[in-house]
Amino acid sequence: MSGSYSTAYLIFFKMALEYYVNGRASALCGCLFTTGNLLHHAVEMMLKGELSRTVSLEDLKDSKKYGHSLPKCWNAFKSLFPTENLTEFESMILHLDQFETIRYPDKILSKGAMIGIGFNKGRVVQRTIIGRPVPEYQLGIGDVDAFFARAMRLCHMNPEAYFIFLTDQGREILMKNNDYANDWLR
């Protein structure tokens, strides 16, 4: 691969961590409509960072090959680590991928939405159907935190070096309700 591709992973990882901190900040502020999309991009950039070591940038952008599809990126990422059990992240990948479908308001306007975001793992809102059923979009930030902890280790990232850009407020956002970040900052 050419020089521009050989270091693309560094920029992907930097972007992933910026989206991740922004997604956590959005959740802390109660911004339901944007949190899922920011964290979708965070996970997408993280996966593509590792994939960019062997896959061209053109292929990563190609919607038929990878595009914004987390399942496609996830399956390719998992194949790079065949001895790792990554099944704990399957549900998070699928739920987070659904947020890409409400990036624009047309689907929410036509079908409605129940959006639930919390800082634990797993399902954050128990559904009680009153009236017509609407699509659900749920995300436990704890699942995303666990994913980033594992992915940084698998990708041989030094989180301290990547998070050096954070201000005191950014560090606080990263640490708040995050059981995995204790070793990420010094």
pLDDT in tens, 22-35: 999 999 999 988 99
CB 45 within 8 Å of CB 12: yes
pLDDT digits (tens, 9 = 90+) for 92-121: 999 999 999 998 999 999 999 989 898 988
pLDDT digits (tens, 9 = 90+) for 118-147: 898 876 665 556 677 888 899 999 999 999
Where in the chain are the domains?
Answer: 3-183
Average pLDDT value for the chain: 91
Residue 140: per-residue pLDDT: 93
For residue 4, what pLDDT band results from cuts at 50, 70 and 90? low
CB 140 within 8 Å of CB 121: yes
Shortest CA distance to 16 belongs to which of 39, 36, 34? 39
156: left (phi over 0), alpha (psi -120 to 50) or beta: left
